[in-house]
């Protein structure tokens, strides 16, 4: 399926462009179709799930017909779809629900993870350990059991035989500064090795602590780079702050993140060397030697 989130952003851009080409303001359009200015704003900024009948009404007002009409209606239908993640509501967490939505229609996923283990590779025990840390910081807004169920479903979706190409670069610093019990980290590292060895579409590499000079700034934090099967859905970058997810589709900014990712990738260990490193690190951790 296409990602409803991605299609909502595509629909928003299409409707805004059509309105502007028609020489109509958002206020004028709102009055014409008997909706609020806020409703039009939310639709044109991809902040709401579209109502197909309202989209058709807008297209009629803007004089859109023929192939363009059918194209926009198809995008609107995709944008209005609900995925498996919607059945979880807030129980799985807003951030994870967004990831699941975007991943559902991705062609490729590239991730630079400088800290915790990627959600797509986490074992339940590892996730539980992170949840305990989150609970210690204050009230959580999700249901732990449902979050773990949803994370496992995300993994099944991405790691299916016909799923997207998934490449992740783990930072050695983050791997050594783990915040879960050693036995959990040991099992987690071997889980990553197994995934990399048994899933042809998955590539795991480690960005080592010592690299020599890198001819660019590296990403300051977590970065996701997505592409999609439909060439009209532009590549997307997602980064995180402590409290928000930042999504970019403008070509210049996406290209900037992609360049930084490539610099890290070029300095990373090979796939084979990465698996050897992870196995040796797991042994060091379980023996208490990871800091030496």
The mean of the pLDDT values for the chain is 94
- Residue 149 located in a structural domain: yes
Structure tokens at 122: 């986490």
Comparing CA positions, the residue from 126, 101, 121 lying closest to residue 111 is 121
53 with 165, same domain?
no
**What does DSSP assign to residue 109?**
E
pLDDT in tens, 174-232: 999 999 999 999 999 999 999 999 999 999 999 998 887 766 778 888 999 999 999 89
Listed residues 52, 80, 108: the one ending a domain: 80
Pairing of β 165-171 and β 108-113: parallel
Which of the pair, 217 or 48, is modelled with greater confidence?
Answer: 48
pLDDT in tens, 248-263: 999 999 999 999 999 9
130 with 215, same domain?
yes
pLDDT of residue 213: 72
What's the pTM value of the predicted model, to 2 decimals? 0.91
Comparing CA positions, the residue from 261, 183, 166 lying closest to residue 222 is 261
Alpha-carbon span 254 to 130, nearest angstrom: 30
Which of the pair, 192 or 243, is modelled with greater confidence?
Answer: 192
Q: What is the CATH number of the domain that holds 116?
A: 3.30.870
Q: Could you tell me the pLDDT band of residue 85, with boundaries at 50, 70 and 90?
A: very high
pLDDT in tens, 141-165: 999 999 999 999 999 999 999 999 9
Q: How many CB atoms lie within 10 A of CB 145?
A: 11
Which of the pair, 103 or 212, is modelled with greater confidence?
Answer: 103
Average the pLDDT over each of 53-57, 213-217, 236-240, 288-292 and give the range with the smallest value: 288-292
Longest alpha-carbon distance in the chain: 71
pLDDT in tens, 50-74: 999 999 999 999 999 999 999 999 9
Using DSSP's 3-state secondary structure scheme, residue 234 falls into coil
56 with 152, same domain?
no
Domain that holds residue 38: 4-80
* Residue 291 pLDDT > 60: no
Listed residues 59, 80, 101: the one ending a domain: 80
**61 with 69: CB under 8 angstroms?**
no
158 with 269, same domain?
yes
**280 with 172: CB under 8 angstroms?**
no
**261 with 110: CB under 8 angstroms?**
yes
Listed residues 54, 80, 106: the one ending a domain: 80
Alpha-carbon span 256 to 248, nearest angstrom: 11
96 with 15, same domain?
no
């Amino acid at each position: 399926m296409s990602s409803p989130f991605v299609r909502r952003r595509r629909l928003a851009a299409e409707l805004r462009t059509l309105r502007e080409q028609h020489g109509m303001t958002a206020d004028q359009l709102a009055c014409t179709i008997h909706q609020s200015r806020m409703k039009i704003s939310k639709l044109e900024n991809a902040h709401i799930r579209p109502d197909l009948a309202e989209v058709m009404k807008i297209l009629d007002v803007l004089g859109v017909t023929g192939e363009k009409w059918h194209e926009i209606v198809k995008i609107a239908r995709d944008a209005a779809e609900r995925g498996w993640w919607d059945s979880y509501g807030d129980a799985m967490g807003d951030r994870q629900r967004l990831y699941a939505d975007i991943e559902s229609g991705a062609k490729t996923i590239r991730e630079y993870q400088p800290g915790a283990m990627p959600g797509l590779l986490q074992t339940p025990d590892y996730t539980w350990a992170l949840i305990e840390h989150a609970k210690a910081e204050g009230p959580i807004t999700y249901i732990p059991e449902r979050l773990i169920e949803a994370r496992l479903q995300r993994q099944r979706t991405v790691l299916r035989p016909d799923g997207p190409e998934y490449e992740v670069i783990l930072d050695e610093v983050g791997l050594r500064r783990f915040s879960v019990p050693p036995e959990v980290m040991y099992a987690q590292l071997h889980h990553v090795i197994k995934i990399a060895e048994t899933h042809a579409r998955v590539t795991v590499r480690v960005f080592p602590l010592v690299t020599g000079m890198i001819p660019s700034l590296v990403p300051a934090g977590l970065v996701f780079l997505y592409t999609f099967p439909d060439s009209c859905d532009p590549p997307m970058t997602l980064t995180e702050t402590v409290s928000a997810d930042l999504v970019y589709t403008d070509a210049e900014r996406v290209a900037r993140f992609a360049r930084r990712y490539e610099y890290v990738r070029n300095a990373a260990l090979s796939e084979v060397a990465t698996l050897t490193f992870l196995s040796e690190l797991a042994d060091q951790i379980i023996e208490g030697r990871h800091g030496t």
